[in-house]
Copies of this chain bind each other. A is one copy, B any other.
Amino acid sequence: MAITGVLRAAMMQLRVLDLETSVDFYTKVVGLFEVGRTSDGRVLLKGYDEFDHHSLALRGAEAAGMDFMGFKVASDAYLDYLTGRTKEFGFPTEDIPANSDQPGVGRRVSVRTSTGHRIDFFADIEGSDPKPSILNPEIWTVEPRGIGAAAFDHALLFGPGAAETVRYFMEVCGFAPVEKGLLPDGNAFVTWLSCASRTHDVAILEFEHPGKLHHVAYKLDNWNDIGHAADIMTMNEVTVDAGPMRQGATRGQMIYFFDPSGNRLEACAGGYAYYPDMPVRVWDFDHIGKGAFYYSRRLNDNFLKIVS
């Protein structure tokens, strides 16, 4: 296959304050489907267009935020490769057995980055319904609902030592730096990283506090869906952070909003298809507002402050 190594951002475990309120929100508003619960009470969800067992796990907790972000890789052998290379790189790794805290998921290599995030890699995961049909397939098997999130797309992570974590994703995991936002001194403070053709599977931004989540993004089809999502959010009294708009970086169209616990989410569409022969696109410090919010061309007050 021409896509090798790490395939895609594929999983997120989020902490939420009130679990049932959150399940309601993620199913009725975001439009994910509940596919299971763990014995310790976590709830597993997925988008209608995902084959994998689940892409989101919600865990009831005292404070919002992320427990870990997961990436699917092309083969079990690649996990061994990652373990070795990660140790050489110097980030701590841990082996997580199959079917432990994530039902349906094979063994994982779990890495702790300099930014304080836990990143899990896995090669095997069972399927679950709903998923796309493969014999004379209709465009979906279960009608999308709420804003109609099709699949988990990417996340933006905030933490210290971003440059080192970016270097890890590039040198060890084979990610490409697709776009960068620069400080006045010319160093990157935010990097969009792709492991295949998405403009980013993960982006990393330099931040004082470790392990922070800026947003988790779900895929919609187009700008019309972004407008529909905005309507659904108003009718459900969801707090919108910004949008509908286009982001300069990646050219994607989106809306940012908050789940009931204060985790920022994004519904995204559009953007170009990345190929590894593309040059890195760069936003200098004076244009970073435009890189984030292409229409207002300035960051709103919350955007760099509120994280979970």
Within the complex, the shortest CB–CB distance from A17 to chain B, in Å, comes to 22
Q: Which residues of chain B are within 8 angstroms of A197 by Cβ–Cβ distance?
A: 3, 196-197, 273
Any chain B CB within 8 A of the CB of A89?
A: no
Knowing A222-B223, A275-B7, say if A297 contacts B234 (CB, 8 Å): yes
Are the CB atoms of B235 and A139 closer together than 8 Å? Answer: yes
* Chain B proximity mask over A48-79: 1 for CB below 8 Å, otherwise 0: 01010000000000000000000010100000
Stretch at the interface among A107-115, A207-215, A245-253: A245-253
Any chain B CB within 8 A of the CB of A280?
A: yes
Considering the complex, give the chain B residue whose CB is closest to the CB of A273. Answer: B197
Any chain B CB within 8 A of the CB of A137?
A: yes
Q: Which residues of chain B are within 8 angstroms of A248 by Cβ–Cβ distance?
A: 136-137
Which residues of chain A from 281 to 307 have a CB within 8 Å of any chain B CB? 281-284, 287, 290-291, 294-297
Any chain B CB within 8 A of the CB of A198?
A: yes
- Report Cα–Cα, A296/B273, bound state, in Å: 30
Q: Which residues of chain B are within 8 angstroms of A253 by Cβ–Cβ distance?
A: 227
- Report Cα–Cα, A281/B277, bound state, in Å: 29
Are the CB atoms of A5 and B7 closer together than 8 Å? Answer: no
- Report Cα–Cα, A227/B137, bound state, in Å: 17
Number of copies: 4
Q: Which residues of chain B are within 8 angstroms of A174 by Cβ–Cβ distance?
A: 1-2
Knowing A244-B245, A295-B233, say if A136 contacts B273 (CB, 8 Å): no
- Name A244's contact: one of B176, B240, B295 (CB within 8 Å): B295
- Name A290's contact: one of B136, B251, B276 (CB within 8 Å): B136
Within the complex, the shortest CB–CB distance from A124 to chain B, in Å, comes to 10
Interface hub of A3, A8, A272 (most chain B Cβ within 10 A): A3
Within the complex, the shortest CB–CB distance from A118 to chain B, in Å, comes to 21
Please name 18 pairs of A and B residues whose Cβ atoms are closer than 8 Å in the assembled complex, sorted by A.
A2-B194, A3-B3, A7-B277, A51-B278, A74-B276, A74-B277, A136-B248, A137-B248, A138-B235, A139-B246, A196-B196, A196-B197, A223-B224, A230-B294, A230-B295, A233-B295, A244-B244, A244-B295
